[in-house]
Structure 1
Amino acid sequence: MNQNIQQFKADFFKALAHPMRIRILEVLSEGDKNVNELQSILGSEGSAVSQQLSVLRNKNVVYGLKEGTSVIYSLRDPLIKDLLSVAKQIFDNHLVDAISLLKDIRKET
């Protein structure tokens, strides 16, 4: 595979590699929001939200459009919503496997 494509993918996944950035993407997958709305939903201070949005913007995962005095943030690609859904399914599958293993262990003891 082309080295540039691998680097692009690695950079993309690095942009997702933070709990607050994942949560921001989950919120934005439900609809566009400004920083104040994101701050309120996330229960986090604005500087932390702005910092994480900056990472996501720099990696072209989200974009912002200025409307008056606010910037409204959106997912750059709606497929990110699907990516988050697939990631949740993978996580759920791992949990099901772990729970099943735990039940087997408990049966043995």
Structure 2
Amino acid sequence: MSVPLYQAKAEFFRVSGHPVRIRVRELLRDGPLPVRESLAATEVESSALSRRPAVPRRSGVVSSRRDGSTVGYALAGGDVAELRRAARRVLAERVAGRHGLLDASREAEPAKVAAR
């Protein structure tokens, strides 16, 4: 039985949306990284961190590679990195828009006070 595309998209974003998973993907933007090197940056326990990439790995967001006892993760491709960059642009625009509204509100406030 095939899954509708909208459900597949929802699942993709659901498994990608955990804050620790997002932080791990940010750390991977510069290339593959062993799990032990990302522990300090994410400030989570070793067992919790090693579980976090498993779900995105199954979803095709990250890939893993074992070298002896070391497991390293990397972004699964250019599209995943582009999606991360697109999300950053969207959020930056939202923040800029909010700051613009706040600035406009502040500029309008003195005029109201002076009019009284």
Is TM > 0.5 for Structure 1 vs Structure 2?
A: yes
Q: Number of matched residues?
A: 108
1:80 aligns with 2:80: yes
For 1:1-109, what aligned pairs fall within 5 Å after superposition?
4-109=4-109
Unaligned runs of 5+ residues in structure 2 are: 110-116
**RMSD, aligned α-carbons:** 1.6
Contact 1:33 1:73 in 2 (8 A): yes
Q: What residue identity is the alignment partner of 2:96?
A: V
Higher relative contact order (CA 8 A, sep 6+): 1
Unaligned runs of 5+ residues in structure 1 are: none
1:3 deviation in Å? 5.2
TM-score by length of structure 2 reads: 0.83
The CA distance in 2 between the partners of 1:68 and 1:89, in whole Å, is 38
Secondary structure at the aligned position of 1:101 is classed as helix
**Identity percentage of aligned residues:** 30
